[in-house]
Amino acid sequence: MIKVAIVGGTGYTGAELLRLLAKHPHAQVEVITSRGEEGRAVAELFPNLRGHCDLKFTAPNLDTLLGCDLVFFATPHGVAQAMVPELIHGGARVVDLSADFRLRDTALWEKWYKQPHQSPALAQQTVYGLPETNRDKIRGAQLVACPGCYPTSVQLGFLPLLEHQLVDPRHLIANAASGVSGAGRQAKVDFLFAEVTDSFKAYGVQGHRHLPEIEQGLRDIQRGRGEPARVTFVPHLLPIGRGIHSTLYATLVDTSVDLQRLYEERYSDEPFVDVLPAGILPETRSVRGTNICRIAVSRPQDRDTAVILVAEDNLTKGASGQAIQNMNIMFGFTETAGLDMPAFL
Amino acid sequence: MIKVAIVGGTGYTGAELLRLLAKHPHAQVEVITSRGEEGRAVAELFPNLRGHCDLKFTAPNLDTLLGCDLVFFATPHGVAQAMVPELIHGGARVVDLSADFRLRDTALWEKWYKQPHQSPALAQQTVYGLPETNRDKIRGAQLVACPGCYPTSVQLGFLPLLEHQLVDPRHLIANAASGVSGAGRQAKVDFLFAEVTDSFKAYGVQGHRHLPEIEQGLRDIQRGRGEPARVTFVPHLLPIGRGIHSTLYATLVDTSVDLQRLYEERYSDEPFVDVLPAGILPETRSVRGTNICRIAVSRPQDRDTAVILVAEDNLTKGASGQAIQNMNIMFGFTETAGLDMPAFL
Amino acid sequence: MIKVAIVGGTGYTGAELLRLLAKHPHAQVEVITSRGEEGRAVAELFPNLRGHCDLKFTAPNLDTLLGCDLVFFATPHGVAQAMVPELIHGGARVVDLSADFRLRDTALWEKWYKQPHQSPALAQQTVYGLPETNRDKIRGAQLVACPGCYPTSVQLGFLPLLEHQLVDPRHLIANAASGVSGAGRQAKVDFLFAEVTDSFKAYGVQGHRHLPEIEQGLRDIQRGRGEPARVTFVPHLLPIGRGIHSTLYATLVDTSVDLQRLYEERYSDEPFVDVLPAGILPETRSVRGTNICRIAVSRPQDRDTAVILVAEDNLTKGASGQAIQNMNIMFGFTETAGLDMPAFL
Amino acid sequence: MIKVAIVGGTGYTGAELLRLLAKHPHAQVEVITSRGEEGRAVAELFPNLRGHCDLKFTAPNLDTLLGCDLVFFATPHGVAQAMVPELIHGGARVVDLSADFRLRDTALWEKWYKQPHQSPALAQQTVYGLPETNRDKIRGAQLVACPGCYPTSVQLGFLPLLEHQLVDPRHLIANAASGVSGAGRQAKVDFLFAEVTDSFKAYGVQGHRHLPEIEQGLRDIQRGRGEPARVTFVPHLLPIGRGIHSTLYATLVDTSVDLQRLYEERYSDEPFVDVLPAGILPETRSVRGTNICRIAVSRPQDRDTAVILVAEDNLTKGASGQAIQNMNIMFGFTETAGLDMPAFL
């Protein structure tokens, strides 16, 4: 049983870590921090955890965190990059769910996040925690940057096509839609129930912070072959609590490939990627609360455009579940430990 | 590991049994029947079960069912009463989730369900599967009638008050609201998304089939003391998938009682009843997908009306979870086996 | 064409006033104030009004307001009571949608709103704007307090029973449920989409600010006959944008009365109260965006409990629609002017 | 005041026609037909129309229909093509909201609808009722085929780009999402509330019946210039009642064009197309229940992909509102008559 800490436990990803870890066979949450809720019982803030979590929120303390085997950061961007260097120096292992260490190019990070990066050197060495592309590096990593919710689905969707250079990388299209929990548990009028329900809209069309992460990831997959991937990424806000659905479009340079087989083979050993049988399309509810990512691939009208559909839970495979998957890999646990329950419809 | 069968596996309660049993440590689903979907893979109908269930639907067969240690009926009313007698005769143990054996008074059953009852004798001997009132009888039972979703919440809510004769039993009010899955997975215009979303209404005001079950249960709790309980029961349809919330009202004959303490003590040993601290009110999402029933009790304005709030998941504590809780009791398993995961918010 | 002003135009009731007045045949919005949004185009904040409203928000100014024939207050409580006296003194007519002038007993107001009342004398003279009980006084009123959303539905529901002293007034029960817009357009975590969707809960059980208004209104209806009405009022939060549904319970002292006929006759001349045929129950979507209040009355199981169901739109008949209905009465317009469109399902 | 008839009045488009026509200044519904609901009061089926519609459903009768100035068909496909020829022969004017006369190429129709077309000659002469491209022909038309909901939004979105040959027409992408009312008011398990809520999915990826209509419309806009438009069209099912949002992608062959100005100029005289200011994005709720279509255009990251966002109400501009807009044009009424109310948020 390892001891884990959660820094920043009052948001949705913190709550999801607590839910999933409540039944984890090899990990126990020892510490959960929050400056704002210090002293308050976790189960008071998150009533679903009554009977499953006796912890109280505490103020973050370096020694306490260093006493744990693993520290999760579930904080807004800017926090981890200030605290992680000391933890790393003290020998802690860290999985950061925020955006702080996802981009190796910190100049790019600074452009998109509009603030100076405080640990550029560390950002260079961080392992990007997408197990499907980086499992070996994750195993030995001290600091893992857990991928963003949209980038997880977009990378998993395009991966087999880019690995085999089957599509024109210059005009990739990622049309994605997310449940509202993706916006975090912060009081903003835009995310009030009465503003979101019974409606649908795009946002961030001119530029969303996940775009550079997506393009970095896709270019890593390309490994220098061909034109660098360029993505038109349009996120949308869904009137649902959880779930991301990405509809990806790419122009095939070779239409003779059996796309169904390509995807099935690529992901045959992946415990959390489910390539659906031909003709079956994913829906977000079928992955609700689970770490599974379901994918369908097709070529409509036998033309030269490939369409890939990807469904994941933004808080699970898109955040906290993937963080635990990373933990399982880092500590040599069964990769599915604590993550193998079915969704409910 | 016991072998269980599910008769009628294409509805929401069947799907919920499959989801919960997929991870049960002591029970394995061997058979799931459906005449309409015979031969079809279960995971095709319920994509959340992909990777968790390899079964196909089969037509019901007596010998196959008798080969199992327990048979769940998740069928519309009228089916179990035709099939159960042979199973009981053959030595099977049965948990019936339908309404067929809930009322001991089969004349009353016939009045409300408008058809003849086919097994009145068996109905007399059936054990009513509400563990909080009937645990000992459930242990040795061969046939358990799993309570209805509304009756579970209403009985658990009024129980401490009636046990102690603290309220006027003649004017009990049960104002309840249920998610749409309570209507079953049947094609009816009334339950189309576009008919239900963004709306709210009462139904069945003149008489809902759960009323006689509620009154039977409450009178059992009274054990002949005082006027027999009479309930005005008004169910409402909520635009949510799962969840029941009951708001119960009763006139106190004694306002000196500490209601909070009464409820806490009555349910202190109950693994699936959570009496909330004073001032905390239950919400359905905090029990979503779990077998927990959360209860709050109060006396507004210090007047003589007690208000009890009860939240449960209609498909879990209100149906399939309670069925498994009954199974756990019948077979001597830990009562919470397979049922102890937290809800997600 | 009269000129009207709206003070506090950035909330849901302000937006609803603008929507309804956009097509009003006899009134034109000249001024809409907001300190926070001063200078901003209304249609930028409320994109549904693009093409229907060219106004910009301005800071409130006494002279400008006095230049209008009518001033609506759509402000949080506490604002109108500070500004209205000067307006009244200057000869303006005012419809206040806030709670400031609803209670004649300002000591009671201070107890529930936990702040001193700034215009107790004016509160005494304010006309309570429920046309179904107060039409004649509204006609000549200078200051009208528009009823709260819950109080409107509860009063209209109990009114015929109390007018005829048919029920025990000491144990009235009002179980009500409201869409989230009732909480206003303010940034609070509790009303985020992800907190409210797919869930249901009660709130304010120990005491909601609408309770004293409800009891004042019901006692006015009683006109001193019988014990003063006492209500147990439990509001619930619905995962819908708009709509209130109240389920009212009362013990009949006389079960021989034809309740259906009583209600039909009482409301036969009311343009905005629709008593449904026996057996038809109201749903909130059937009144969405309209000023109609639909009512059903029944006596389940022929027992002595009357059940009254009332559906209204909390922003229309429960606020802005009723405010315009009051305006129509005050200025001698057809009472339904600008308010006679059907809802859409 | 013209007399109009509605054939097939029990679905969502029929109900929406009734709602909109209830307040139309120049048209009166005289007849509404339904074989299944013959004799039933319309307001019983659609309670929102209580007080606004005194009609009963009748069986369709040729003479009665011929007695009207205009007949709307709001029937499933296959019905209008059987009945319309006689009506046309009898001199009636017809607006068909179904798919029967939308494709001039009836062989193509037969391929997609998998049944023989019964009036191929008439299909040739039908006027396609998209006022923004066809207003003059609509004016004198005897038979108008009202465009499909998706095709309306996709055509209006691509129109300015194709008129000016600014994009590669071979790889157009239309990623669209519709509320559930688009599936019609028919009892199917797939559209039950509990199947749709809190979820999102694509459907019809391999081929949706609106694809040939979309491509016919776009090619008409091209008028033979350039390669014929080919669209990858992926519809999605939104957990909302009403609303369509289309996100369109096209590769620009000329990036020097001011897209914002292009769209604003093209639609400056169109009463029901609202080009949003740069940076403002449409949301479906801002058009709910109205005939307005709101459009935003952008070029993310200043690259060569144009992104066009289009929001409409699938039942209004996508069906019944557009049908009435066509009627207004056909009869010389103000084009916005009966259609000029704002949406509510």
**Percent helix / strand / coil, chain A, rounded to 5:** 35, 20, 40
User: C193, C203, C285, C344: which to substitute to probe chain A, counting the most A Cβ within 10 Å?
Assistant: C193
DSSP state letters, A206-251: T--THHHHHHHHHHHHHTT-SSPP-EEEEEEE-SSSS-EEEEEEEE
pLDDT of residue D345: 82
pLDDT score of C66: 98
List all residues 6 or more positions away from D300 whose beta carbon is below 8 Å from its beta carbon.
A205, A206, A207, A232, A233, A234, D307
Q: In the predicted model, what is the mean pLDDT of residues D128-145?
A: 98
Q: How far apart are CA A274 and CA A91, in angstroms?
A: 36
- Out of B53, B68, B146, B149, the active site residue is B149
pLDDT at C345: 82
Collect the ranges in chain A with pLDDT lower than 70. Answer: none
Which residues of chain B are within 8 Å of residue A44 when distances are taken between CB atoms?
A: 280
| Contact yes or no for C296 and B201 at CB 8 A | no
Q: Are B311 and C201 in contact (CB under 8 A)?
A: yes
Q: Residue C5: what pLDDT? A: 98
Amino acid identity of A215?
Answer: E
B222 to chain D nearest CA, in Å?
Answer: 37
Taking the C-alpha atoms of residue C108 and residue C91, their distance in angstroms, rounded to an integer, is 28
Reading chain C (345 residues) residue by residue, the pLDDT tens digits are 999 999 999 999 999 999 999 999 999 999 999 999 999 999 999 999 999 999 999 999 999 999 999 999 999 999 999 999 999 999 999 999 999 999 999 999 999 999 999 999 999 999 999 999 999 999 999 999 999 999 999 999 999 999 999 999 999 999 999 999 999 999 999 999 999 999 999 999 999 999 999 999 999 999 999 999 999 999 999 999 999 999 999 999 999 999 999 999 999 999 999 999 999 999 999 999 999 999 999 999 999 999 999 999 999 999 999 999 999 999 999 999 999 999 988
How, if at all, do strands A201-202 and A143-145 pair? unpaired
Q: Using the beta-carbon criterion (under 8 Å), do C300 and B202 form an inter-chain contact?
A: no
Using a CB–CB cutoff of 8 Å, tell me whether A269 touches chain C: no
Dist. CA C308–CA C160, nearest whole Å: 11
Query: Is 0.85 exceeded by the ipTM?
Result: yes
> Which residues of chain D does A191 touch, with a Cβ-Cβ cutoff of 8 Å?
none
User: Can you give the pLDDT at residue B275?
Assistant: 98
Q: Does B227 touch chain D (CB under 8 A)?
A: no
Q: Which chains touch D (3 or more CB pairs under 8 A)?
A: A, B, C
Structure tokens at A2: 């390892």
Chain D residues near residue C12 by CB distance under 8 angstroms: 345
| Rounded Cα–Cα distance for residues C305 and C301 (Å) | 9
Give the best residue of A236, A260, A298, A309 to mutate against chain D (max D CB count within 10 A): A236
Q: How far apart are the CA of D245 and the nearest CA of chain A, in angstroms?
A: 7
Q: Is B156 helix (H, G, I), strand (E, B) or coil?
A: helix
Establish how many alpha carbons lie within 13 A of residue C32's alpha carbon, considering only the half-sphere containing its beta carbon: 28
Dihedral of alpha carbons C195, C201, C205, C209, sign: positive
Question: How many CB contacts within 8 angstroms connect chain A with chain D?
Answer: 143
Beta strands C143-145 and C93-96, pairing class: parallel
* D195 in reach of chain C (CB within 8 A): no
* B284 vs B315: CA distance, rounded Å: 12
3-state secondary structure of D192: strand
What is the least distance, in Å, from the CA of D48 to any CA of chain C?
A: 4
If we measure between CA atoms, which residue out of B307, B173, B229 comes closest to residue C250?
B173
> Which helix H or strand E contains D150, and what residues bound it?
helix D149-163
CB atoms A189 and C192 under 8 Å: no
Report the distance separating Cα A238 and Cα D109, nearest Å.
Answer: 34
% of chain B at pLDDT higher than 70: 100
**Are D206 and A241 in contact (CB < 8 Å)?**
no
Straight-line distance from the first to the last Cα atom of chain C, in angstroms, rounded to the nearest whole number: 32
| Interchain contact A192–D (C-beta under 8 A) | no
B19 chain-A contacts, CB cut-off 8 A:
342, 344
For A201-230, letters b (16+ CB in 10 Å) and e give: bbebbeebbbbbbbbbbbbbbbeeeeeebb
Contact B156, B231 (CB under 8 A): no
Buried b (16+ CB within 10 A) or exposed e, B179-215: bbbbbebeeeeebbbbbbbbbbbbebbeebbbbbbbb
Q: What is the pLDDT of residues A151-185, one digit of tens each?
A: 999 999 999 999 999 999 999 999 999 999 999 99
Predicted local distance difference test score (pLDDT) of residue C192: 97
For position A286, what pLDDT does the model report? 97
Q: A264 touching B, CB under 8 A?
A: no
Residue D344 reports pLDDT greater than 90: no
Residue whose tokens read 């590669």: D168
- Under an 8 A CB cutoff, do A344 and B22 touch? no
pLDDT for the residue B141: 98
Average pLDDT over residues D247-261: 97
CA-based nearest residue in chain B for residue C307: B205
User: What is the per-residue burial (b if ≥16 Cβ within 10 Å, else e) of D219-254?
Assistant: bbbbeeeeeebbbbbbbbbbbbbbbbbbbbbbbbee
Q: Which residues of chain B have pLDDT under 70?
A: none
Chain D residues near residue B344 by CB distance under 8 angstroms: none
What DSSP letter does each residue of A182-200 carry, written as one string? GG-S---GGGBHHHHTT--
Nearest CB among A179, A188, A194 relative to C241 is that of A194
- Do C251 and B249 touch, CB atoms closer than 8 A? no
Q: How far is C58 from chain B (nearest CA, A)?
A: 34
Q: Please, which chains are in contact with C (at least 3 CB pairs closer than 8 A)? A: A, B, D
- What is the pLDDT, as a whole number, of residue C10? 95
Active site residue D68: no
Q: What is the pLDDT of residue D12?
A: 97
At A255 the pLDDT is: 96
Q: Could you say which of A186, A187, A196 has the minimum Cβ distance to residue C193?
A: A196
Q: CA–CA separation, D236 vs D202, rounded Å?
A: 4
8-state DSSP, C342: P
List residues of A with catalytic annotation. 149
The torsion defined by the Cα of B238, C174, C335 and C290, in degrees rounded to 10, comes to: -10
Tell me how far apart the alpha carbons of residues C176 and C160 are, in angstroms, rounded to a whole number. 19
What pLDDT digit, counting tens, does each position of D68-98 carry? 999 999 999 999 999 999 999 999 999 999 9
With cut-offs at 50, 70 and 90, classify the pLDDT of residue D183: very high
Distance CA B37, CA A157 (A): 32
- Tell me if chain D has a CB within 8 Å of the CB of C16: yes
Among residues A236, C287, C183, A196, the alpha carbon closest in space to that of D240 is found at A196
User: A-chain residues within 8 Å CB-CB of B15?
Assistant: 345
Q: Which residue of D has its CA nearest to B198?
A: D241
